[in-house]
Amino acid sequence: MHIHILGICGTFMGGIAAIARQAGHKVTGCDANVYPPMSNQLEAQGIDLIEGYDSEQIRISPDLWVIGNVATRGTPLVEEILDRDEPYVSGPQWLADNVLRNKWVLAVAGTHGKTSTSSMLAWILEAAGKRPGFLIGGVPQDFGTSARLTDSPFFVIEADEYDTAFFDKRSKFVHYRPKTAVLNNIEFDHADIFDDLAAIEQQFHHFVRIVPKSGLLVVNGADQALARVLKLGHWTPVEYFGVSGGWQAEPLDAEAFRVSLAGQEQGRVRWELLGQHNRTNALAAIAAARHVGVRAGAACEALGRFGSVKRRMELLGTAAGVAVYDDFAHHPTAIATTVAGLRQKVGKARILAVLEPRSNTMKLGVMKEALPGSLAEADLVYCYRANLGWNPADALAPLGAKAVCHDNLDALVTAIAAEAKPGDQVLVMSNGGFGGIHQKLLDRLNAAIALPKRSPTAQ
């Protein structure tokens, strides 16, 4: 079958493309924005990509159009598909019908930590010899791809609460019918489709309602929003993490922690990942893996060899003694957690935080008041303010002179490079490609080193 995917460069739809290709289908697709790592993954898979959504693509005549939620009514190709009564389906529905049916689905949901927890879980199952299939909203370093199809009965999926498609406004995760469901946390996000936190909690309850009584809910017991969701009703056994009586992580030093369940030690993890958020994600992954037969001790040992995820505090390079990191953080809570993690790693070294408020929620300015607090631990803050309906300089005013905003990318790179000194840590945070700022900055720093120094007596 030939399928053509609209919005193919999104992390989820790109994963659909990879899985469909591995299943033997001919896959093509289109998108308006192309950036790594998904563009690299598609290229490696040999999947042809068309820029834009022009109506002329109707001539491709695939057997099925798979439409991502980025494609809305009014999009030329969408209108042509509808006018011609062409067969179409959403990505989640295609996945449910063609891949997840008859699988033991392990789904990881929550506002934060989905990608990291899904990656940890997939790696634990891989280390246990279970060869899971997976679809993750990032690229785990241990696998080198965001999606994989295998003949294993187990499939790990990052379960997103964002809506499915222009013709299906339910959250994506209601299509997945998990047997093991991880609920990490809930905060207000996706202000473009949800009116308030209660609306998001309602969608999470829809998710809880489809988990069978033979399954398992792995739930962050410290999250009050999740407590409200479960209070609406649940029909599945629950294991809590992050609270007394459930799964807990006790730090032993900066790189190790003890894992316990109901006060009984289950194993120890020693790794390079930092921060309480990563330890909490690990607990969720260990608990979920135990549900499919992986001993907690074996899971702990596997996590000691876990290689993290691309775009999650990923060191892209060092130039002129300045380290440049890339991170996907775009919600104030995630920004604060990311900055705190880097601070724990680098101690008193200067952190230059570089932010692109690119998500739909951030573009609306819904959480702008929380930005100063989320960036408080950074020494300097640089914000890219292009394509925003609000002024980040006003929002960041509480940070005083340490916050600088630019609406020109080259000017932003110039300002950062001029200020950066050996030993500084530049932390770039965006949920998009950010115009390739990471490499531009490394190139600018390297160029500064290469410039010949003028003699004091030179005329």
Phi and psi at residue 338, in whole multiples of 5°?
-65, -45
Answer yes or no: do 107 and 69 share one domain: no
Domain that holds residue 68: 2-90
Answer yes or no: do 273 and 339 share one domain: no
CATH assignment at residue 192:
3.40.1190.10
- On whether residue 440 sits in a domain, the answer given is yes
Alpha-carbon gap, residue 319 to 443, rounded angstroms: 8
CATH assignment at residue 428:
3.90.190.20
**Tens-digit pLDDT string for the chain (459 aa):** 999 999 998 889 999 999 999 999 999 999 997 666 667 778 788 898 898 999 999 999 999 999 999 999 999 999 999 999 999 999 999 999 999 999 999 999 998 889 999 999 999 999 999 999 999 988 888 888 889 999 999 999 999 998 999 999 999 999 999 999 999 999 877 767 778 889 999 999 999 999 999 999 999 999 999 999 999 999 999 999 999 999 999 999 878 999 999 999 999 999 888 778 889 999 999 999 999 999 999 999 999 998 766 677 788 888 888 989 888 777 788 888 888 888 878 889 999 999 888 776 676 777 778 888 889 889 999 988 877 777 888 888 888 888 888 888 888 988 898 889 999 999 998 877 787 888 888 988 888 765 554 444 443
Q: Which of 274, 276, 301, 273 is nearest to 286 (CA)?
A: 301
- On whether residue 95 sits in a domain, the answer given is no
For 127-132, the CB contacts below 8 A with 24+ separation are: 127/298, 127/301, 127/302, 127/305, 128/289, 128/293, 128/294, 128/298, 128/299, 128/302, 130/154, 130/292, 130/294, 132/106, 132/156
Answer yes or no: do 169 and 296 share one domain: yes
- On whether residue 457 sits in a domain, the answer given is no
Residue bearing tokens 């529905």: 93
- On whether residue 403 sits in a domain, the answer given is yes
Answer yes or no: do 444 and 295 share one domain: no
Alpha-carbon gap, residue 29 to 3, rounded angstroms: 8
Q: Which of 319, 390, 344, 311 is nearest to 119 (CA)?
A: 311
Total domains in the fold of the chain: 3
Alpha-carbon gap, residue 270 to 258, rounded angstroms: 9
- On whether residue 26 sits in a domain, the answer given is yes
- On whether residue 297 sits in a domain, the answer given is yes
CATH assignment at residue 69:
3.40.50.720
DSSP assignment string, 74-86: T-HHHHHHHHTT-
Q: What is the pLDDT of residue 458?
A: 41
- On whether residue 322 sits in a domain, the answer given is yes
Answer yes or no: do 135 and 258 share one domain: yes
What Å distances lie between residue 190 and 114, 182, 207, 223, CA to CA? Answer: 15, 20, 17, 19
Q: Contact 8/147 with Cβ under 8 angstroms?
A: no
What Å distances lie between residue 164 and 81, 91, 94, 326, CA to CA? Answer: 18, 8, 11, 28
> What is the H or E stretch that residue 148 is in?
strand 147-148
* Structure letter (DSSP) for residue 140: B
Structure tokens at 25: 């289908």
Instruction: Indicate the pTM of the whole model.
Output: 0.77
Torsion sign, CA atoms 138, 144, 145, 151: negative
Q: Which of 69, 96, 92 is nearest to 172 (CA)?
A: 92
